[in-house]
Amino acid sequence: MELSIVNITGKDTGKKVTLNDSIFKIEPNDHAIYLDVKQYMANKRQGTHKAKERSEIAGSTRKIKRQKGTGTARAGSIKSPILRGGGRVFGPKPRDYSFKLNKKVKQLARKSALAYKANDSNIKILEDFNFEAPKTKEFVELRNNLEVADKKVLLVLSEQNKNIYLSSRNLRDIKVVNVSEITTYDIMNASVVFFVENSIEPLHKMFRI
């Protein structure tokens, strides 16, 4: 699979890059994508929710009315869940939502997500670039040149670049990651995925190709 390389002005440079078909041309596995996205979302949950049960409610332990003769149901505690201010039955408790997923499944999920984007022609290759200083204005100009101002964009770099990252941080629909940080969720959540030219080789190495 060959793609043309564009520069930061949005013009074709005349150069091409070859993407490995064993990543971008596979038959996507929807279940693997589901599992990987589910794990990603679960791992981000704090799990600090908590409601008090009847044993944790502060209050008197005396019997609130006599057992018989009132014409109403028996009631033994003001902490009862059926009374206002009482404890909650089977309320949420702090827990860890994270779960493990096999490396091969995660790898298949990322390949499947990339294959979907490639099938929809939403994989783009951007010529290597850098900013002299962190400036959001320059990144906005880049986004306009690439004609993706109204789309969610994932920009994949070969290595960490502070100026590019800081320039994009204030833009809501832009996410900048390194090749090693790319996730199935980020790929599927983006409308267009841009790889800088020198990130393709590390991407192939990550998938052991």
List, for residues 154-169, the tens digit of each pLDDT value: 999 988 889 999 999 9
Q: What angle do CA 191, 196, 201 make, to 5 degrees?
A: 115
Average pLDDT over residues 197-206: 90
Q: What percent of the chain has pLDDT over 70?
A: 100
Residues 115/121/122/123 CA torsion (nearest 10 deg): 70
Residue 207: predicted pLDDT: 86
Give strand pairing partners of 12.
6
Average pLDDT over residues 122-135: 91
Fold entry, domain 2-45+100-206 = Ribosomal Protein L4; Chain: A; (3.40.1370)
pLDDT at 185 exceeding the cut of 80 = yes
Residues in the chain: 209
Residue 1: predicted pLDDT: 82
β-pairing, 192-196 with 123-126?
Answer: parallel
Q: Confidence band (pLDDT; 50, 70, 90) for 209?
A: low
Residue 156 CB neighbour total at 10 angstroms: 25
d(CA 159, CA 69): 78
Every domain of the chain and the residues it spans:
2-45+100-206, 49-96
Q: Confidence band (pLDDT; 50, 70, 90) for 12?
A: confident
Residue 54: predicted pLDDT: 92
pTM (2 d.p.): 0.82
Residue 41: predicted pLDDT: 96
